[in-house]
Amino acid sequence: MPSIIDLRSDTVTRPSETMRRAMAAAEVGDDVYGEDPTVNLLERRAAETFGREAALFVPSGTMGNQIAIRLHTQPGQEVIAESRAHIMDWEMATTAVFSGCMIRPIPTDNGILTWKQIEPLIFPKGGAHHAATGLIEIENTHNLAGGRAYGRLVLDEILQGAKDRKLAVHLDGARIFNAATALGTDVKNLTRGFDTVTFCLSKGLGAPVGSMLVGSEELMAHARLYRKALGGGMRQAGILAAAGLMALEEGPRRLHEDHANARLLAEALSHVEGVSIDPNSVETNIVIFRLEGGRSAPDLVARLKERGVLANAFGPDAIRLVTHLDVSRGACIDAAEVLAEEIEAGVGTSAL
């Protein structure tokens, strides 16, 4: 068994030796002046991959999302999103700070918004009481819904409804390549119709840092200004972009392995007494399960760490596991055994 099996997130991956060599050899320039050839190449490749006119390299997915929100809204408007969306809970209220907007959260059972849920909560401009809706935001895959993926039919209905209402739609596609892999399609098809899309190079694709925002040339020109306003103007960033190029070109090919490993963990956990999980709900590389019988998630996470398995607790009884390129199938089998032993052995009191 490896000394550490890190299942906290796919953000913990480390660049391979080949990627490190590419970074060391990268041709660089000043990206704020638009003179870094490796960044420029990465942006062209990203735009081509998603069938868009242009792309922008940003340090993080959070920055990409917040730039997109600023592009599409005016201060005092609302952004519709699923209630567990990343922009709602994990981006430091920047929607309010930077764009002057509130988020209108919509709870769902499985993380998948539908037009039927969205439409009644759209408020037009000029109302006497309600803030106007400025943007609809979709997260695919949905992180805290266990990596669930939106299919094309659901997205088409949302996009058509938004178009009829003259509303922009932004896609937080941090793990959109995972969604495309699970659905047997490509990202160009799966993201068709969105006004802007962000995706991460630094999660399952394996780059050490960086995300992309894609859209029209006009929007990306404005986005570049907002990136600078947020402190995201980088200089000789080609060192990072070289890793991003490798991640974009090679990373998607092996995501099915992560999905298979996540399903392995889910299947194993479904046979453990005191665990609530439906293996059929595990579509990509994220496994979220709940503990029953008063078992404490934080307590279990602490005991797992002592045995070399790292995981994250979400609340008193939920735990998230994320598979990635630095965790082999053998490591997942080992982790499943440790999880079963510790869950069945320890009965704690739920954290308050």
Q: Write the pLDDT tens digit of every residue in 167-209.
A: 999 999 999 999 999 999 999 999 999 999 999 999 999 999 9
Look at residue 2 and tell me whether its pLDDT is greater than 80: no
How many CB atoms are closer than 10 A to CB 2? 14
Look at residue 348 and tell me whether its pLDDT is greater than 50: no
295 torsion bin: left (phi>0), alpha (psi -120 to 50), beta (else):
beta
Q: Considering the chain, what percentage of its residues have pLDDT values greater than 70?
A: 97
Cα–Cα nearest to 201, from 218, 176, 183, 221: 176
Q: Taking residues 152-164, report their average pLDDT.
A: 98
The pTM assigned to this predicted structure is: 0.96
Q: Please tell me the distance from the alpha carbon of residue 100 to that of residue 248, in angstroms, as a whole number.
A: 33
Q: What mean pLDDT is reported for the chain?
A: 96
Q: Please tell me the distance from the alpha carbon of residue 168 to that of residue 213, in angstroms, as a whole number.
A: 15
Domains of the chain: 5-11+254-345 (3.90.1150.10), 16-251 (3.40.640.10)
